[in-house]
Structure 1
Amino acid sequence: MTSIPLGAPIWADSLTSALEDDTRYYEQLFGWVSADAGEEMGHYTTFGVADGSPAPGRPVMGIMPCPPGMSPSRTWNLQFKVESCDDAAERAAALGAALVEEPQDVSDMLRFAMLTDPNGASFGLVQALDPETGFGVYGEPNSVSWAEYHHDGVPAEAMRFYEELLGWQVVTPPWEAEDNPRPYAALSPAGGGPEFGGCHAAEGFELNLPPQWSVMVAVEDADETCERSAELGGAVAAQPMDVPGLRVAGVAAPGGTTVGIMSQRPWT
């Protein structure tokens, strides 16, 4: 089990119109195992990295069939850990967020709420009622390793809402050019610890997309993973490209939900 600090990403999941196809796709693309919680829990399916422990191993993310009247997820829904879901949701609304789903309990595991931030990007708040709630692995191969936000504006300004709500440390990395008017914003929890994500100024095709969080899964080879995505009935949502130190891309499951992938870029 990972030790997840307050304010950091705690879980990611998505709604799908193709549960069987997407389950098979994720298992084959990332080597995950899955566990269906059954009809009583709406067939919520948890994926994990197999390590000899009971299914689904160390939890990575979850999917569930899209309820009637709702649309499948365009991207994975990212959620952040808070001490009190109700208090954090109230605070978020006061800071300009819109409440999409009121705080509610999921059995005795967690209490969560879904919102959109002042820029319109979706995110969730999770209060862990069970200490085992959340990512069982983060930052390892074939697991969620980064959370990236794009915004057509100054990244640090877009992150001010989260800074006030969750206490994040928002800093400009040393590799940024001093004359860049919209420098990258690196994100880490209030109490310190490793960076878990960042925000960049939208460019290219992103200018046609609304501001949003992108969940990133670490893979050995982003180009090869894109090829396998197509072979497995998915698609390539964003062609591989180089960013500082990384090769990144986007793949889409058969149901259409997109997730980012990232691999270390070899030195040449």
Structure 2
Amino acid sequence: MLKCINQWGFPESTPIEQLFEYSQAAGYDAVELNLNPSGSVGLTLDTTATEAEEVGRLARKYGIKLRSLSTGLLWGAPLSSQDEDQREQGKRIVSKQLELANVLGMDTILVVPGVVNAEISYNDCYRRSQEEIGKLVPLAERLQVSIGIENVWNKFLLSPLEIARYIDEFNSAYIGSYFDVGNVLQFGFPEQWIRILGPRIKKIHVKDFNTKVGNINGFVTLLSGDVNWPEVVAALREIGYSDTITAELSPFEKAPLQMIYDTARHLQFITDL
């Protein structure tokens, strides 16, 4: 398995080339970039194919693989929204992810499919998000880039059986799971989810979680929470997963880059299990 770090692990203003340089020095095999708002560092909604190719060239210069593309932009334009304009913006975001991933040779993008709240019912979230993602399947298939549905704290897709059903109903090899190990610990066992989702899993995010805290403040650095890492790795090996294990953590407040180096060592320990 490949050790990977998400761009969010670096200070926000870190130039892309410097980000790759630091990642190489820390011993990572890959970096997961994010699609950011216009005017941000790195890939944005305005990035051209030529600009994306330059990012790919810089990654190769430092021996860094680019395997997936994440984004936080869908929280502001959920595919489950009651507002048609928001859903259209959400589809534009995912389309841009697919196009840039194709240019950069990535095979997966991360998509948060929708959000359940007081205004958006569970049923409506399920129906609307499937309808909107379904419209993007032809593009994903043409570009040969998978849409990885992430399990996240959005009050939606709360069991592995439901996520498996949700994915299978698309009847496309290009819709799968972007499984986040830490996100599930509050209400499940990640090793069980991995075995159930099996080959549907396209990519893996890792963070740790302290169940005694039990809220958003419970997310902690790798190996310092309650994830049963030997069982998680055993499950991943059982399903034949050998791709990136991507740490999705924030920089340390006092020494931002130290998180990058500490996490690389933690990932090495985990992938050696």
Structure (1 or 2) with the greater helix fraction: 2
TM-score relative to the length of structure 1: 0.37
TM-score, scaled relative to structure 2 = 0.36
Q: More strand per residue: 1 or 2?
A: 1
